[in-house]
Each structure stands twice: as structure tokens, then as C-alpha cells.
Structure 1
Amino acid sequence: MDNSIALVTGANKGIGKEIARQLAGAGLTVYVGSRDAARGERAVEEIGGDTRLLVLDVTHAASIADAARQVDTLDILVNNAGISGDDETPDREDVDTFRLIYETNVFGVVAVTNAFLPALRRSAHPRIVNISSGTGSLTWATGPQFPHRGTYAAYRSSKAALNALTVYYAHALADDGIKVNALAPGLRRTDLNATAATSGGDPAEAAAGAIRLALLKNDGPSGEFFSWDGTPVPW
């Protein structure tokens, strides 16, 4: 994968930063996507390797367009940027919170992916990895193994929508050789929400799962949903 180029959105902290770190460690040139330039610069300095700051706010069209103009060829796009919101059921959640979360977790993924498709199409082995959530699995949500009913409704439904988009993009881009998969990273020690901050595991472990999907061989899967440990997750 030497000379390959990757972009990780929301890479100045959390799982995204660990993904960028591991990609850089594997010898790739990595664009560290960050909406805040100062935080992004600090992440680049801390990660080291061939990392480069790319100021990118996934909720603003002008920022996305400017970032896309700076990248001619892209081998790997990791749509990692995401927000969580409150631990609310849908009947108690304000609709504006739904809009805010969907703007980043769903619409932002569409906007960024579409903007960088020309660069991805110039790659010999293009890959897209969408960082989803096991809580977005409708199978798990309706089964006995998932005891939490209806909480974090805005976040979880946004990830269910992202899962659907993963399938649709995989179908649409198959003829271009672009593999598109989703990852359930598990609960990780990040500032995504209070539960993650106090109860999450090592972000590096989740990042390793993303790296496996980012570095898939040409005969690897597309349009599928995997846990951080490589096992399939039901939609």
C-alpha cells in the first residue's frame, strides 16, 4: 500500500485519529480531515508519518468543495465524522436534534463521498469505509440480545440510514471497482457521548477493524456490515 492515499474525516480525535495513525503506520499518505484547523494540526503532529491536514467540515458545502479540490487521487475514504446527541427515545427527542445529527451522520457522508468520487475513480483499488454502529442494526434492535429499547433514537436511526446508504453506494459504484463497507466499531473510549467516555474500550482496537476494510484485496466483499473483530453484523 506504499504511495496509497487515504482521507479520514473527523480524524483529529477518537477513533478517526487512531484510524489515521494506523494507516500512516502502514505507509500510506493520510489526509487528516478536521473542521478545526488548530486541532487538526495537533493531530498531524501527534500522529506523525506522512499525514497532512485537510480542513473539512462535512456539514458545509463550501468546505467540502475546497477540500476536494486539494486531492487529485484518493485510494481510501473513511467516513468517520459523526455525532451522537442525547440518550433520548424518539418521543422525547426534539426534531431539530434529529436534523443536526442527520446533517453530519447521513447528509455529510453523501456530500463528502460524492465530492471525492472523481478522486476515488482515479485509484486502481478504491475503498470506502463508513463508520457506523452496531446500535444501528435493526436486527439487533429487535432481538433479545439488545436490551436497550429506543434510546439514542436520533443517533441510532442515523446509523441505520448510513447502513442503507452503504448498500446503495456499493451497488452504484460496483462497476467502478469501488468497494463500500460499513463498520460497527463497538463502544469506545471517546467523547461521542457520556456512556462512551466512561465505559468504552480502546479506540485503537476499533480502528484496526476499519483498516482491514480499507486495505481489502480486490476479491474482498462490498456492501456489507462488519464488527470491529471482522465478524458480520446483521442489518
Structure 2
Amino acid sequence: MMNNLFSIFDPTTNIFNLPLNWISTFIGLMFIPYSFWLIPNRHFMFWNFILNKLHNEFKLLIGTNKKTSNGSTFIFISMFSFILFNNFLGLFPYIFTSTSHITLTLSISLPLWLSFMLYGWINNTQHMFIHMIPQETPTILMPFMVMIETISNIIRPGTLAIRLTANMIAGHLLMTLLSGTGPSLSNYFILMLITIQILLLILESAVAVIQSYVIAILSTLYSSEVN
């Protein structure tokens, strides 16, 4: 019996009250070694195709002529893969959705944002000051623009974390609410409910891909601003 609606996202288990559900976050690491000793199949080749497309896109956003951009795309590709795997894993029954917790999402976005800020203010201080004031800004509005840009810059890790968490929780809560009405419905309405749940599952699969892509793209754009 649930104590409240959000108890389905409780990361604790009944085994000595330990957070064993977080182990599902690292299950994806088990699939990394197989690519080194198995013959590449269609799924692996398709995944490599996606990663190559992302690499080329991230490289264009960061900049190809910058020495500091060498290898930077692998950070965002790894983050995309990690978030995508955990988003899809949460769609399976009885598997914990780690990306629906701000503990994980903020742990990803905050260190990344801090590293961008430290690198930018230490190595490109003048560029960071220039970035606070857009071009052709009137002199009177400059203090306000600096304040607005500073606030928008500070809340970036929070918006990244909350965006992913809210999208994951919203879809799962909607599916939970609909499934809870099943026992009280007639056979005709249960067929309609199953159809709606399948459509919602397809939508959630699309959201899982889109949100991981959005997080990776926004992180890449934030990194390009400090160079």
C-alpha cells in the first residue's frame, strides 16, 4: 500500500532498508565490454552510427579549430548514453528510475557546470565578462543585463536537473494513475485503458530519447560559451 503518490519513486528497499535500487544505475556498465570481444551486430553498428552523428554535431557546436575541444565530445556522448540507458531502464516494470531523482540529475549537471565556470573565469576572464553584456546594449540597461545574465547562468544546473527529473516523473505518474483505475473498470474500458497505456509508453520512449539529447545539447552549448 502506497503512503502517497510519490512513494513509487522511493529509492529504498525492504532489505535492511538499504538503497539497493540505485544498483540499477550501473547495470549499463555490464554492456560495455561485450563490444570488444563479440562480433559487431546490427544493433551495435546502429549504436555506433548514432554516436558518430552525435560526435559530429557536438564537434560543430564546440568548435573544430580549438585545441581545447579535442576529446570534449566524448564527455557529452557518455552523458547522453548514460541518461538514455537509465531513462529506458525505468520504463520496465519493477525497475528503479534513477533519472527521476534530482539527486542523480543534479549530481550530473552541477559538477559539469562548475567545471565550465572555473575554466572560463580562470582562462577566459575577459570573454566571460563580455558575454554578460550582449552587443548593442544601451548603457542604461547594462547593469540590469549583467544581473539577468548572472542569474540565468547560476540557475543553469538547476534547470538542467529539474527538466530531466520533471519529465521522467510526469510520465510515470500519469501511467501509475491510469493503471490504478484498472480493477474498477469494465472489460470494454480496460481495453481502452491498455491502448492508452501503450500509447503513453511509446510517448515515454520518445521522451527518454529527447530528454537525454536535450541535456547533452544544452551542456555542449554551455561549454562552447566559455571558450
Q: Which has the higher contact order (CA 8 A, sep 6+)?
A: 2
Same fold, TM-score > 0.5, yes or no: no
TM-score between both structures, scaled by the size of structure 1: 0.29
TM-score between both structures, scaled by the size of structure 2: 0.29
**Larger Rg, first or second structure (1 or 2):** 2
Answer 1 or 2: which has greater helix percent.
2
